[in-house]
Amino acid sequence: MKLSRGQWIILIILIASLIGASGFLPFLFATILAFIPAYYYLRSIRNAEEEDVEPWETLWTSFAWGGITGIFLAGILNTIFTVSIIGILYGTSSESDLEVLAVFVGAVIVAPFVEEFIKPIVMFRNQAVKKEIDEVEDGIVYGAACGLGFGATENVFYGLTAGATAGGIGGVFLIVVLRTFSSILLHLVATSYTGYGIAKYQIEGESFGVVVKYYFLAVLIHAAWNAAAVSSLVYDNDVGAVLLLAFSILLAISGLELAKRRIRELDVAGSNIYGNSIRAGSDGQWSTSSIEQKSSWEQKKLRSSSVDSGEFNSSNSGQTADALYKSSTKTPQELADSTTEWAVNYDWRSAIGFVIFLFFILSDIIF
């Protein structure tokens, strides 16, 4: 991993400001506490792939973008947009209402849009990272890396706030650890969605609309999370805050496992690396001549999987293979069996947790 001159300047500014505000030892303690778990989260996401595992160099490049450039740019843009919106609303509300409004606007409206836009930019602008995204699941991995870098640095900032440091090392420890099991995973999960959209755009040749779609999904997840945190603070509901924290942690961990499972599913499927250039023909088959246009790595991967099944013959380009997906008519019993299989494999824990999570958000606001 090589940091650019601009990133070195930003890193020095961030370190100097944090040490100046809290002292060297609290800074060192918070940094170790925030970045070691982030590394293990990243390793866990990386190892979810079994084929074509992503190199550490480009993963650290993405991580550094989120943790250095991303956090710096987001801090500036969040401040500019929040101050601008509050300036427009100034005079329409009382001073106390403006304080609450500033927190809500900054955390729920501005931050999700700004941060989810900035975090995955490296997947477009860095050629080394872009080159490594040769499978759809790679977008999830690199999106998660960007989010983890951002979340780790953000944890250091929150761990060194005046409220946390007032409690000494214990206060720093509590804030960073709680956020390590909650907020940092929010950034991982949310940005992995945008990364998935970017990979579908780059690999499968879909329109840029797919990136926009998954970007807005990431914004929605981020905004809902922040709304829960803000509501528990604004409405001063201690019980609600504890319950929201518990369910936030549950959802964050479930989101991590869901992302890893999706990576494994895509990795096992293996067909996504070919994108739109291989299509089933009118007779329900594709020709292996299209395979000859692929890279040597892709040909090798296809040959190895095809040889195992005895279906590939490199010397005969006229041979055809069955299409990956075929339409067929299922009997009522087969439909019932497939429905049962779907119900068994569906991630009900995450779904139920998300419903309960939204319920507590609404209960905090209404009651």
pLDDT in tens, 282-296: 343 333 334 344 444
Beta bridge partners of 322: 285
pTM metric for this prediction: 0.71
Model confidence at 172: pLDDT above 80? yes
Q: Examine the pLDDT at 60 and tell me if it is beyond 90.
A: yes
| DSSP-derived 3-state class of residue 320 | strand
- The rounded mean pLDDT for the chain is 76
Q: Which residue has the higher pLDDT, 346 or 41?
A: 41
Is residue 39 within 8 A of residue 164, CB to CB? The reply is no
For residue 237, what are the contacts with CB-CB under 8 A and spacing of at least 6? 364
Rounded-to-integer distance, Cα 339 and Cα 257, Å: 23
pLDDT tens for 2-33 read 888 999 999 999 999 999 988 999 999 999 99
More confidently predicted of 193 and 263: 193
Structure tokens at 97: 């209402």
What is the 8-class DSSP label of residue 292?
G
The pLDDT tens digits for 137-162 are 899 999 999 999 999 999 999 999 88
Q: Tell me if residue 24 falls in helix, strand or coil.
A: helix
- Give the domain ranges of the chain: 5-272+348-366
Q: At 165, is the pLDDT very low, low, confident or very high (cuts 50, 70, 90)?
A: confident
Strand pairing class (320-322; 285-287) = antiparallel
Q: Is 50 exceeded by the pLDDT of residue 323? A: no
Q: For residue range 226-249, what is the model confidence (pLDDT) as tens digits?
A: 887 777 666 655 555 666 667 667
Neighbours of 28 (CB within 10 A): 11
Contact 19, 119 (CB under 8 A): no
The residue that leads in pLDDT, 307 or 104, is 104
**Region class of 301: left (phi > 0), else alpha (psi between -120 and 50), else beta:** alpha
C-alpha dihedral (283, 289, 295, 296), degrees to nearest 10: 120
